[in-house]
Structure 1
Amino acid sequence: MKPQILALFAGSLLSASVFAQVSVSDPWIRATVPAQKVTGAFMRVQSATPARLLGVQTEVAGRAELHEMAMEGQTMRMRGVESIELPAGKPVNLASGGYHVMLMDLKRQVKEGENVDLTLQVQDAAGKRQDVKLSVPVKPLTYSAHSGH
């Protein structure tokens, strides 16, 4: 009986790793001042197979959107995007000055030292959706990610 239970357990671990196609590293959210209604979330996202980041959800904000900063002539502009491509095996930085997550209509102040739950919605090339749940640390207003981020 024990070998069967061990095999079942090992099989469940294997199947869990098959579905864990997306990994996130170095996530953080910028802290806010009391009346502030917008902040950013930043991280590095990598998918083992081709996929797209479709959206983000969190309880602390009325809306969470994917955004991109891009130069238009001599002006840097921010705009919402429907999705962000995640090429197989290549990390995609969600960082200040490029793609990032905007948390808007904040329901409360986001304070340094706390963690905020975020859920990333990802879709693979076959159309299968996966939720990636994160507990993201809040960094000081003055925090700047290291140069590789």
Structure 2
Amino acid sequence: MKRTILGALAAATFALPALAESEITILDPYARAAGMNAIAGAAFFGIQNNGDEDDRLVDVRSDIAKRTELHTHLETDEGVMRMTHVEEGFPVAAGTIHMLQRGGDHVMFMGLNDPMTQGDSFTLTLVFEKAGEIEVEVPVDLERQPGD
């Protein structure tokens, strides 16, 4: 009996770190599309790393679209801004906030399954190297302007 109780206590003690809150906080998420007939949309938010270790957003998933990817804007040699998939993800240094914003890093939804409607929301799963998976409820805000 003693051995069973001690074993249970030991198992609970080792499980405690897994129950600790994530060091990652998602700030002010929102999504938008260009219009009712848009086939693509994007999500924006801040990723705050409150921990002592660097982390990296490596993947993102949602059922709002056929494809969901991490994207950024890069300037071509001709001076044209072009969106591109960022396969390696976005680094989030310890003690910093990495912003996903219009004209920069963002989550891209390609092949929307339904229109993004003002006031709706959807679930977005963010996958981090160290923090693991974090689910975020993302409101659709078609009225928000850059800098809001």
TM-score between both structures, scaled by the size of structure 2? 0.79
Large movers: runs of 4+ above 4 Å: 14-17
Please give the alpha-carbon distance, in whole angstroms, between the structure 1 residues aligned to 2:26 and 2:39.
25
**Secondary structure class of the residue paired with 1:93:** strand
Map 1:1-149 onto structure 2 (within 5 A): 15=17, 18-31=20-33, 33-47=35-49, 48=51, 49-73=53-77, 74-82=79-87, 83-124=89-130, 130-140=132-142, 142-146=143-147
Superposed displacement of residue 34, structure 1: 3.4
Query: Alpha-carbon deviation of 1:16?
Result: 6.5
- Alpha-carbon contact 1:32-1:109 (below 8 Å) kept: no
Superposed CA RMSD in Å reads 2.0
Unaligned runs of 5+ in 1: 1-10
Aligned to 2:8: none
Q: Given that residues 56 and 92 in structure 2 are in contact (C-alpha distance below 8 angstroms), is that contact kept between their aligned partners in structure 1? A: yes
After TM superposition, give the deviation of residue 26 of structure 1 in Å: 0.8
Q: Distance in 1 between matches of 2:54 and 2:34?
A: 34
1:6 matched to which residue of 2?
none
Does structure 2 retain, via aligned residues, the 8 Å contact 1:30–1:40? yes
Q: How far apart, CA to CA, are the structure 2 residues paired with 1:145 and 1:45? A: 18
Q: Which has the larger radius of gyration?
A: 2
Figure out how many residues of one structure are paired with residues of the other and give that number.
130
